[in-house]
Amino acid sequence: MRKVLAVAVVAAVLGTAGLVTRGQADAAPPMRALVPLYVLPPESDDAYSDWHRACDSSPAGSAIVANVLSGPGDTLNQNYLAAIQYCALAGQRVLGYVHTEWGRRSAELVHAEIDRWHGLYGSWISGVFVDEMATDIATASYYRALYARANERRAGALVVGNTGTASGTGWHLTQPAAADILVIFEGPAASLGSFAAPEWVQQTPPEQLAALVYETSRETVPAACDALRALPVAWAHVTPETLADNPWDRLPAPAYTNRVRNACR
């Protein structure tokens, strides 16, 4: 899910922990929002903007992943600062976006972007959203170093990794961890029903798993939410937008987001 100018909203409240079985976990919490939102925050304090709607309508403790320009950019962006502060003060966590090109991007560059998020936006940033995270365990040291860097910049940082699909094992979530939450599915609703999750997914607490689903009609929202619970994931975003039109560049209409929230809760 490569981003050029983006904001993603991620519902997440999870401390650093090792992989545990579902039998060890408490009852799964209600599904929370994970909303990629590729929209520049408005200059004015617009209560009807996608930023405000996303922050106000997401469950308490959600995490907003801010993306200025495929990362933090080089200078402070006042629009993003205002939006980040608004969401944080509303009780949401704000994560900075970084991308890794499936482990091929220079770790030095990614570490520098993690540092720059904190240097520009300070304590308003609660962690990072690591996009294009590889599934190959050969990249484990690369991603575990990124995880450690995020926690060096902020103790207890929340790290969300987007692999887009499930790897053969749950190595990302085992100690030493590479992520606290893993996006194991990113695709159209038509593919969700046939998605075959590996066994380790079924043994992982849903609150460590997330999914991003596009091309979902209003009528099929309940079925999509049922499929997400069956995976199981506790964080998700469901949208009617198509891949051709970029499904993450806007927040769905209020009536649609309300339907998703009611069906997936």
* pLDDT tens figures, 90-134: 888 888 999 999 999 999 999 999 999 999 999 999 999 999 999
Q: What is the pLDDT of residue 13?
A: 33
CA neighbor of 207 nearest in space, from 23, 1, 26, 8: 26
- Please indicate, yes or no, if residue 37 is contained in any of the structural domains: yes
Q: Between β-strands 6-11 and 62-67, what pairing exists: parallel, antiparallel or unpaired?
A: antiparallel
Q: What is the pLDDT of residue 8?
A: 41
Q: What is the pLDDT of residue 48?
A: 74
Q: How many domains does the chain have?
A: 1
Q: CB of 62 within 8 A of CB of 39?
A: no
Mean pLDDT by 10 residues, the chain (265 residues): 47 35 47 81 81 85 84 94 90 92 98 98 94 97 98 96 95 97 96 93 94 96 95 92 90 92 88
What Å distances lie between residue 171 and 66, 78, 155, 204, 263, CA to CA?
Answer: 26, 38, 22, 11, 31
CATH of the domain at 210: 3.20.20
Domain holding 115, by residue range, is: 6-264
Q: What is the pLDDT of residue 34?
A: 81
- Please indicate, yes or no, if residue 1 is contained in any of the structural domains: no
Q: What is the pLDDT of residue 45?
A: 73
Q: What is the pLDDT of residue 11?
A: 38
What is the value of pTM for the model shown? 0.87
- Please indicate, yes or no, if residue 208 is contained in any of the structural domains: yes
Q: What is the pLDDT of residue 32?
A: 85
